[in-house]
């Protein structure tokens, strides 16, 4: 995907923001279970079977679903938002969505269970200047990145969930109120109209910078509470872009390309593309693509 440059005009409307800052259950010691499933001896002559490796429990937000306005009919500087046109009605069922993106620790659990594969190494495999969180120390609570669509989909299925559809993702970010940003309107007197903690991520200036290269990095999940939606969903803007379950479809013609998947949101300071904070921004990617600026979260239909 080609790098784009865009100067995004700030909106002049004041907006409130949520201060919901949920936490994620920490990863238990890996020694409590083994991926092989073999038993282990706890006392002479007594053997117990190792418990199956279970997914990390992640807090989710229940969204009641409904019909909402998807896409937009506004300006599209340099054509960056052309594929978000025209606006149209979309309907989603009730569903739950992870409050934050899937973390390195959570993905590691899936790998230990034998259900996931190792993410790519951005420097070795992609020739990218920015490392992946997987290969860096002390990144357990950072979003897993450098994963393909297949790896993201496989993780969510292992966790008993699914990747959110594009409609579910935009509903979580935008709501029935058709918010411009996940938190609401643009924040007055702030560059690009974003809250200060989200702006840190756009500048790549949070404490998550890679010490070895000084390159911008992602940040710990949930560490930008002012960027939360009114419902409490975090990190829909300003950390990593996120894979969705959906094939890429043109809104205007309703033609779809099954060879491309939709990614939404995010920016970790490396590409510095502030229009990605808008709730309508879309990216079409090859499902085999992997990058330091893309990760994912999971969702689950709320069935009675």
pTM here is 0.80
Average pLDDT of the residues in 14-35: 36
Joined together, the tokens standing for residue 6 give 């865009």
Average pLDDT of the residues in 225-239: 93
* pLDDT-based confidence at residue 269 (cuts at 50, 70, 90): low
Joined together, the tokens standing for residue 127 give 């020739």
Average pLDDT of the residues in 11-40: 35
Q: What is the pLDDT of residues 172-231, one digit of tens each?
A: 999 999 999 999 998 888 777 788 878 776 666 565 444 445 566 788 999 889 999 999
* pLDDT-based confidence at residue 299 (cuts at 50, 70, 90): very high
* pLDDT-based confidence at residue 300 (cuts at 50, 70, 90): very high
CA distance 186 to 83: 22
Joined together, the tokens standing for residue 123 give 């420097």
Joined together, the tokens standing for residue 271 give 């590409």
Q: Is the pLDDT at 2 greater than 50, yes or no?
A: no
* Opening angle at CA 187, ends 183 and 188, nearest 5: 165
CA distance 255 to 243: 20
Fold of 52-301: 3.90.1580
pLDDT score at 116: 97
Report DSSP state, residue 156.
H
pLDDT score at 75: 84
Q: From the DSSP assignment, how many helices (H) and strands (E) are in the chain? A: 4, 11
pLDDT score at 303: 82
pLDDT score at 206: 61
Q: Is the pLDDT at 31 greater than 60, yes or no?
A: no
Q: What percent of the chain has pLDDT over 70?
A: 73
272 or 148, which is more confident: 148
* Opening angle at CA 137, ends 136 and 138, nearest 5: 125
Exposed, middle or buried: residue 282 (CB in 10 Å: 0-12, 13-18, 19+)? buried
Task: Report the DSSP beta bridge partners of residue 62.
Answer: 96
pLDDT score at 7: 30
Compute the mean pLDDT over every residue in the chain, rounded to the nearest whole number.
Answer: 80
Q: What is the pLDDT of residues 119-171, one digit of tens each?
A: 987 767 667 667 788 988 889 999 999 999 999 999 999 999 999 999 999 99
Are 233 and 182 in contact, with CB atoms under 8 Å apart? Answer: yes
Average pLDDT of the residues in 11-29: 35
Domain boundaries, the chain: 52-301
CA distance 267 to 293: 6
């Amino acid at each position: 995907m080609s790098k784009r440059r865009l100067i995004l005009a700030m909106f002049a409307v004041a907006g409130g923001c949520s201060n919901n800052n949920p936490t994620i259950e920490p990863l238990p010691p890996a020694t409590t279970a083994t991926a092989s499933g073999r038993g282990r001896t706890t006392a002479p002559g007594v053997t117990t079977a190792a418990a199956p490796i279970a997914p990390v429990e992640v807090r989710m937000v229940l969204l009641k679903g409904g019909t909402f306005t998807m896409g937009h009919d506004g300006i599209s500087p340099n054509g960056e938002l052309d594929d978000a046109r025209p606006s149209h009605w979309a309907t989603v069922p009730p569903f739950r969505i992870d409050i934050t993106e899937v973390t390195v620790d959570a993905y590691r659990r899936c790998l230990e269970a034998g259900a996931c594969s190792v993410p790519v190494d951005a420097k070795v495999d992609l020739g990218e200047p920015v490392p992946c969180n997987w290969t860096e120390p002390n990144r357990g609570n950072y979003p897993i990145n450098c994963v393909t669509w297949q790896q993201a989909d496989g993780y969510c299925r292992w966790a008993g969930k699914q990747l959110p559809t594009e409609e579910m993702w935009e509903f979580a970010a935008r709501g029935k109120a058709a918010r411009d940003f996940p938190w609401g309107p643009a924040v007055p007197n702030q560059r690009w109209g974003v809250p200060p903690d989200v702006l840190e991520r756009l500048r790549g200036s949070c404490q998550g910078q890679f010490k070895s290269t000084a390159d911008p990095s992602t940040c710990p999940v949930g560490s930008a509470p002012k960027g939360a939606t009114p419902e409490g969903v975090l990190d829909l803007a300003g950390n990593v872009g996120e894979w969705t379950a959906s094939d890429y479809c043109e809104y205007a013609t309703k033609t779809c390309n099954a060879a491309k998947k939709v990614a939404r949101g995010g920016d970790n300071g490396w590409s510095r593309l502030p229009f990605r904070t808008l709730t309508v921004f879309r990216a079409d990617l090859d499902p085999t693509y992997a990058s330091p600026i893309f990760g994912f979260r999971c969702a689950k239909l709320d069935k009675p």
